[in-house]
Amino acid sequence: MIKTDSLSFAYPECPPLLSGISLTVDAGEHVALTGPNGSGKSTLALIIKGVLAPTAGSLTINGRTISDDDSRREIMGMVGLVFQNPDNTFVATTVERELAFGMENIGVPPPEMERRIDEALENFDLARYRYTNPSRLSGGEKQRLALAAVMVMRPSVLILDEPTALLDPANRSRILDHIHEVTANGTTVIHITPFLEEATAADRIVAVGDGIVTADISSADAYTLSDNFRLCGMPDSQGTTGMPCDTPDSSDLIGLDHVFYTYDKGTPFAHTVFDDLSLSIVPHAATAVMGPSGAGKTTLLEIVAGITAPTTGGLSAPDGFVKAMAFQFPEEQLYGDTVAEYASFGPRNVGMRGDEIASSVDAALLSVGLDPASYRDRKPHMLSGGEQRRVAIAGVLALHPDLLVLDEPVAGLDRCGLDILFRALRSYVDGGGTLVFSTHDFELAHRLACYGIVMCDGRIETSGSLKNVLSTSMWIRDNVTG
């Protein structure tokens, strides 16, 4: 059993994030934890894991209370935590060694360890990556590995911090099946999620906000909190889009011409992602890039943005195009002591000065729903995952780029954050910008994009108008609509 009593926490030089959280989770119970971005969900997970100590109040897990380093280590051994960003947990040079690492630390006998590794590789669709460095996996593959590496240790308490945020529908369903299986076997599960369908599968839903528990209800009553959740899967009005689609001007097309790309070329670890890939991207419109995890979406976006050069082949774009990209994990591009310092870097490098920079940064922060007066002087790495994502996007919007490339821009955002970002990106496109974004969120694609690309195994399965892509893609038919 997990019990918190008047638990509070504040980061250094910051106001309290949690203020008197009192919560009980019974052994073997499955609880969905939700709340707005920045409400302290991930921090509460870190406290229950024992990574952070509460500044006030108490925490008891299976009869043990954090009172000193020894008791904290004991609690950490009972609790498995899958972090929001899987890169934060990887320590090994191969997928196999990553799976073995945790079990070695808790003394699992080698024959049992080998059996569990083989089982995890199969269950989490990672067998072909057994000897691959985790850094070479896609975001969704990393997320599956991080979850597998914790679950193979079979902790008595399992905390999952948005474990399906970067997964395609088929793998999301697969992971949810694993969660239900471990719950049925008696594991206590706390599942942090912004998705209604995932929350309703739990026994209870607990919402936090303003530092306290704002709701603690049966999942059968989830409709009372439905405005706080996003939906998974395809919108009801499938086949139409919210954006007008103009006939493209062929003179302005952004093109990839016979592109080949190979990771680690010339080494035993060489892996070809693209083999003779050609495509055109329509300017002054939004294009959604979809497809399963590991299909090559991130690599495609990096080539389009000019961050990664093709092994062979070329990228063409109008002269003087300013390109900007926000990565899948926003903390990878955040730096500096303040949000303003980070967000000012791009505008300064494209020639803005003084008040123009400040004005552009403030406007970009406002567009993603962050009050400049409250966030300008905040430390980027002290923000929640959802806040970091919005700050990262504000930093590239402040450039006023001709081409904006976003990799999974709404992963980790709550319903309000999704709506705010949608309005910001629609305004950008309405103003003449060209947007290319990858997503597993079909609601965002449906509401924002005019054009679509579906990638599978490094090739283009379907492309064209989003209406045509949604109705003809075999991958969407098989993996989304059932």
Number of domains in the chain: 2
Q: Can you tell me the mean pLDDT for 298-325?
A: 89
Tens of pLDDT, residue by residue over 204-240, are 999 999 899 999 999 888 888 877 788 765 555 444 4
Q: Is the pTM of this model over 0.95?
A: no
Q: Can you tell me the mean pLDDT for 59-66?
A: 86
Q: Is pLDDT at 481 greater than 50 in this prediction?
A: no
Which amino acid type is present at position 241? T
Which among 47, 63, 67 is positioned nearest to 156, based on CA atoms?
Answer: 63
- Considering the domain boundaries, does residue 240 fall inside one? no
Query: Which residues sit opposite 7 in a β-bridge?
Result: 21
- The DSSP symbol for 49 reads H
| Cβ neighbours for 122, distance < 8 A, ≥ 6 positions apart | none
193 and 270 in a single domain? The answer is no
Q: Is pLDDT at 70 greater than 60 in this prediction?
A: yes
**Integer Cα distance of 86 and 329 in angstroms:** 10
pLDDT score for 238: 43
Lowest pLDDT segment from 73-87, 142-156, 241-255, 290-304: 241-255
Q: Is pLDDT at 32 greater than 90 in this prediction?
A: yes
Tens of pLDDT, residue by residue over 322-345, are 899 999 888 889 988 999 999 999
- Please give the torsion angle defined by the CA atoms of residues 303, 87, 97 and 102, in that order, rounded to the nearest 10 degrees: -170
- Considering the domain boundaries, does residue 309 fall inside one? yes
- Considering the domain boundaries, does residue 317 fall inside one? yes
Domain-terminating residue out of 165, 194, 228: 228
- Considering the domain boundaries, does residue 270 fall inside one? yes
103 and 208 in a single domain? The answer is yes
| Cβ neighbours for 147, distance < 8 A, ≥ 6 positions apart | 82, 124, 160, 163, 175, 178
Q: Give Rg (Cα) of the chain.
A: 23
Query: Which residues sit opposite 459 in a β-bridge?
Result: 456
245 or 355, which is more confident? 355
Question: pLDDT above 70 covers what percent of the chain?
Answer: 95
104 and 152 in a single domain? The answer is yes
pLDDT score for 239: 42
222 and 99 in a single domain? The answer is yes
Give the domain CATH number at 367. 3.40.50.300
Tens of pLDDT, residue by residue over 123-148, are 999 999 999 999 889 888 998 999 99
- Considering the domain boundaries, does residue 233 fall inside one? no
- Considering the domain boundaries, does residue 241 fall inside one? no
pLDDT score for 334: 92
Q: Is pLDDT at 480 greater than 70 in this prediction?
A: no
pLDDT score for 73: 81
198 and 274 in a single domain? The answer is no
- Considering the domain boundaries, does residue 39 fall inside one? yes
Is residue 435 within 8 A of residue 287, CB to CB? The reply is yes
Alpha carbon 307 to chain centroid, angstroms: 20
163 and 94 in a single domain? The answer is yes
141 and 261 in a single domain? The answer is no
Is residue 442 within 8 A of residue 480, CB to CB? The reply is yes
Locate tokens 């380093």: which residue?
A: 69
Largest CA distance in the chain: 69
Q: Can you tell me the mean pLDDT for 440-455?
A: 91
**Integer Cα distance of 295 and 166 in angstroms:** 13
Question: pLDDT above 90 covers what percent of the chain?
Answer: 62
Q: Is pLDDT at 164 greater than 80 in this prediction?
A: yes
Q: Can you tell me the mean pLDDT for 451-476?
A: 93
135 and 257 in a single domain? The answer is no
Locate tokens 């299986």: which residue?
A: 181
Predicted confidence band of residue 44 (pLDDT cuts 50, 70, 90): very high
65 and 154 in a single domain? The answer is yes
Tens of pLDDT, residue by residue over 185-207, are 999 999 999 998 899 999 999 99
pLDDT score for 314: 86
Q: Residue 344, SS3?
A: helix
Q: Is pLDDT at 415 greater than 70 in this prediction?
A: yes
334 and 397 in a single domain? The answer is yes
41 and 180 in a single domain? The answer is yes
Domain-terminating residue out of 196, 228, 260: 228
289 and 222 in a single domain? The answer is no
Query: Which residues sit opposite 2 in a β-bridge?
Result: 25, 61
User: What burial letters (b/e) apply to 455-480, b meaning 16+ CB within 10 Å?
Assistant: bbebebbbbeebbebbeebebbeebb
- Considering the domain boundaries, does residue 399 fall inside one? yes
Q: Can you tell me the mean pLDDT for 92-114?
A: 95
Tens of pLDDT, residue by residue over 371-412, are 999 999 999 988 888 899 999 999 999 999 999 999 999 988
Q: What does the block give as tokens for 193?
A: 């999620």
pLDDT score for 243: 59
Tens of pLDDT, residue by residue over 233-292, are 555 544 445 555 665 555 557 889 999 999 888 887 788 889 889 999 999 999 999 999
Predicted confidence band of residue 353 (pLDDT cuts 50, 70, 90): very high
Q: Mind giving me the DSSP string for 188-233?
A: EEEEE-SBHHHHTTSSEEEEEETTEEEEEEEGGGGGGGGGG-B--S
pLDDT score for 84: 82
14 or 146, which is more confident? 146
**Integer Cα distance of 280 and 130 in angstroms:** 35
Predicted confidence band of residue 482 (pLDDT cuts 50, 70, 90): very low
Lowest pLDDT segment from 9-23, 246-260, 410-424, 448-462: 246-260
Query: Which residues sit opposite 207 in a β-bridge?
Result: 34, 215
Predicted confidence band of residue 4 (pLDDT cuts 50, 70, 90): very high
Task: Provide the domain limits for residue 289.
Answer: 250-479
Q: How confident is the prediction for the chain on average, in pLDDT? A: 89
pLDDT score for 212: 93
Q: Is pLDDT at 98 greater than 80 in this prediction?
A: yes
